[in-house]
Every structure is written in structure tokens, then in C-alpha cells.
Amino acid sequence: MGSDPISWQMGTELKNCGIHPGKRFVQSNMRMQILAVGGACLLAGAAGAGDSSFTGYARSLDGRALLYVESHAISASGTAGEARVVLYRCSDGTAPFARKELDYAANRIAPAFAFEDARSGFAKGLQRSTHGLEVFERAGADARPRTEVLARAGALVADAGFDEFVLARWDSLEQGAPAEVPFLVPSRLDSVNFKVRKVAEAIIEGEAANVFRLSVAGALGWFVPDIDVSYRKRDRRLVRYRGITNIRDAAGSMLAAQIDFPDADRNDAAVDLPALRALPLVSHCQ
């Protein structure tokens, strides 16, 4: 975590890039790794083509502690050139400690992405090459990167592509029909089958929302906690995520959080993704 001057400077740079920090200012094991799809993975889709930004607030499951803040920037939303940058910021300032980049050009359900956390050295992603779809993962700064070409990539859902999957299956999911999806889990260098089903309806920020639950399919599901994601009915926009995230704490444990994406912190102004990609990441938060 940087000092107050660094936090102030980062906040200014974020605003200059088209991201507004918001008006209000997570020891891993295999079960946690399987569920590290994260609120950052389930991005709230922007309505229509264009640029936009929004903020997610990750709090402890009891709602008492703000753990970190996500700043999302989207360029050319809904087009073949859509790209996104997500900055993960320390809870007490605007300094980013992690970044994720996404490219939707080839596949909206399985976008190419790269995530890096400067605090832990953890990195993961999916890239397209002449060999096919390659998943990579680095467990820490001193760990050796691992890569694998995916053998079953046909119906793969990766990272924020889950949001697109929900939108495509919205009507059947809302009517209660379950779905099963192979979701990429970089820590396993493979996909894991998840069940998706509607489990409730809720009122969030005064509006009706559907609550969809992700559960690991098969026997492993008996040992792994569920993840709940809530989408507003009116515009099918993700408004809340609750479960294990892909952000780790100082001890290396993956954080469980509730992440809310309030309308008050959405902005349709132009974003500068190259500038956001160039912002330095801090190596620790206080």
C-alpha cells in the first residue's frame, strides 16, 4: 500500500483515464482454488455499445469490513473490439495492487484474459495461440509458471464470460431450468463442471433481482461452498456477488466476500485503457 500522496495521485490518474474511484470508499487449498471465480470474473455488462466504467465494493461476508475496491473500465462494449481493464485497489485508498485485462474479440463466452496481483505474485489467464486455447497460472512471485493447452475447449466458459452465459440462458434460468457449464479453473489448468440454477429473488437497491447459484457438479460439490450471483431483472445487470473471490490476503488465503456494484458509481464517459494498463501496481496494502 502506498502513502497518502500515492493514493491521491492514483485517484487523479484513474479519473484522467475515465475511471471514477467511486463515492464510497480476501492458506489457499484445492477447494478454494476451484471456486476462485470471483466477483471480478462476473462482470456487470454494460448496456449497448460504447465506453463505461463502474465500481465494485468487496466487503467481508458479515458486511463489516471493506476488503478492496474494484474499478472496471469497458471500451467498445458489445462490439467485436470490446476490451476491459479491471483495477483492484486497496481498501483505504485508490492505489491498485492487481489488474486484469480482457479481450472479447474471439469469443464472448470465453474471452482471453490475464490477471496479476503484485502483492502475492499470483497470476493466471487464458490466451489463444496457434496451439489452441492455453491456460496459464503462477501460484506466487517465486513460483514457476504452469501452462496447458486445453483439450476440451468447445463449450468452455472463462472468467467474465460467465456473465454472457447467464444473459444467453436468461429465460430458461429465470423459469427455474438448471444448466451445467464447464468453467475454466486456471489453478487446475482445466475446466470444472458447475451447475447454475435460480434459487431466489431479492430486492437490491430497491429493485427486483434474480439470485443464481453456482455449485460444483458431481461428488466434489458436497465439499465445496456455493456462490450466489444476483442480476437485476430490469436490465439483467449483475448487482451482487457473494462467495470465494480470486483475491488473496497477506497469508495467501483466498478471500470470501460480498461484492456490490451500485448504480451510483457507474459512468458512461470515455475510458483510456492503454493508460490503465500502464498504471503501476503497489506491492502491499496497509
Domain extents in the chain: 4-278
Q: What is the pLDDT of residue 153?
A: 72
Q: What is the pLDDT of residue 49?
A: 65
Q: What is the pLDDT of residue 30?
A: 42
Q: What is the pLDDT of residue 4?
A: 30
Q: Do the strands 190-204 and 96-103 form a parallel or antiparallel pair, or are they unpaired?
A: unpaired
Beta bridge partners of 20: none
Q: What is the pLDDT of residue 13?
A: 45
Q: What is the pLDDT of residue 22?
A: 54
Output DSSP code: residue 280: P
Question: How many Å separate Cα 188 from the centre of its chain?
Answer: 18
Task: Return d(Cα 178, Cα 213) in angstroms, integer.
Answer: 10
Q: Closest by alpha carbon to 187, among 122, 112, 121, 100? A: 122
Neighbours of 1 (CB within 10 A): 17
Q: What is the pLDDT of residue 129?
A: 87
State residue 200 phi and psi, 5-degree precision. -170, 175
Q: Closest by alpha carbon to 159, among 100, 81, 239? A: 100
Task: Return d(Cα 262, Cα 239) in angstroms, integer.
Answer: 7
Alpha helices in 76-198 (DSSP H): 161-168, 170-174
C-alpha cell at position 134: 492455453
Output DSSP code: residue 173: H
Q: What is the pLDDT of residue 8?
A: 36
Q: What is the pLDDT of residue 29?
A: 42
Q: What is the pLDDT of residue 106?
A: 87
SS3 4: helix
Q: What is the pLDDT of residue 5?
A: 30
Where the chain has pLDDT below 50, the residues are: 1-14, 16-17, 23-41, 43-48, 219, 221-223
